[in-house]
Amino acid sequence: MEAMLSGWVESQSWFSMACIIVTMASSVTLTLKDEYAERIPILGKIWPILNWLSLNVFHNKNEKK
Protein backbone atom coordinates (compact mmCIF):
# COMPACT_ATOMS: atom_id res chain seq x y z
CA MET A 1 0.00 0.00 0.00
CA GLU A 2 2.80 2.40 0.88
CA ALA A 3 4.58 1.67 -2.41
CA MET A 4 1.43 2.46 -4.38
CA LEU A 5 0.89 5.73 -2.51
CA SER A 6 4.58 6.62 -2.79
CA GLY A 7 4.52 5.94 -6.52
CA TRP A 8 1.50 8.20 -6.97
CA VAL A 9 3.11 10.99 -4.91
CA GLU A 10 6.34 10.80 -6.88
CA SER A 11 4.45 11.18 -10.17
CA GLN A 12 2.86 14.44 -8.95
CA SER A 13 5.69 16.99 -8.93
CA TRP A 14 3.85 19.66 -6.93
CA PHE A 15 2.63 17.16 -4.35
CA SER A 16 6.09 15.67 -4.04
CA MET A 17 7.58 19.11 -3.31
CA ALA A 18 4.88 19.84 -0.72
CA CYS A 19 5.51 16.51 0.99
CA ILE A 20 9.24 17.16 1.13
CA ILE A 21 8.70 20.60 2.70
CA VAL A 22 6.25 19.24 5.28
CA THR A 23 8.57 16.34 6.12
CA MET A 24 11.53 18.69 6.60
CA ALA A 25 9.47 21.05 8.77
CA SER A 26 8.22 18.11 10.85
CA SER A 27 11.71 16.76 11.42
CA VAL A 28 13.02 20.16 12.54
CA THR A 29 10.12 20.87 14.90
CA LEU A 30 10.27 17.40 16.43
CA THR A 31 14.00 17.52 17.17
CA LEU A 32 14.21 20.98 18.76
CA LYS A 33 12.47 22.24 21.85
CA ASP A 34 10.41 25.38 21.33
CA GLU A 35 12.25 27.45 23.93
CA TYR A 36 15.65 26.57 22.43
CA ALA A 37 14.58 27.14 18.82
CA GLU A 38 13.09 30.56 19.59
CA ARG A 39 16.45 31.74 20.96
CA ILE A 40 18.24 31.08 17.64
CA PRO A 41 17.95 34.34 15.64
CA ILE A 42 16.94 33.12 12.16
CA LEU A 43 15.16 29.97 13.29
CA GLY A 44 13.18 31.91 15.89
CA LYS A 45 11.63 34.04 13.16
CA ILE A 46 10.52 31.11 11.01
CA TRP A 47 9.58 28.81 13.91
CA PRO A 48 5.82 29.61 13.78
CA ILE A 49 5.86 28.93 10.04
CA LEU A 50 7.61 25.59 10.59
CA ASN A 51 5.05 24.67 13.24
CA TRP A 52 2.24 25.49 10.82
CA LEU A 53 3.84 23.58 7.94
CA SER A 54 4.35 20.51 10.08
CA LEU A 55 0.67 20.67 11.10
CA ASN A 56 1.86 21.31 14.64
CA VAL A 57 -0.87 23.82 15.33
CA PHE A 58 -1.49 22.44 18.80
CA HIS A 59 2.27 22.27 19.54
CA ASN A 60 4.44 19.37 20.58
CA LYS A 61 4.74 17.95 24.05
CA ASN A 62 8.01 19.88 24.33
CA GLU A 63 6.20 23.18 24.72
CA LYS A 64 6.63 24.69 28.16
CA LYS A 65 3.30 25.08 29.94
User: Pick the residue with more confidence: 55 or 40?
Assistant: 40
User: Pick the residue with more confidence: 58 or 40?
Assistant: 40
- The predicted model scores a pTM of 0.59
User: Pick the residue with more confidence: 4 or 36?
Assistant: 36
Q: Per residue in 5-42, pLDDT tens?
A: 777 767 777 777 887 888 888 888 888 887 888 888 98
**DSSP per position, 5-60:** HHHHHHH-HHHHHHHHHHHHHHHHHHHS-HHHHTTSHHHHHHHHHHHHHTT-TT--
Q: What pLDDT, on the 0 to 100 scale, is given for residue 65?
A: 58
Q: What pLDDT, on the 0 to 100 scale, is given for residue 57?
A: 58
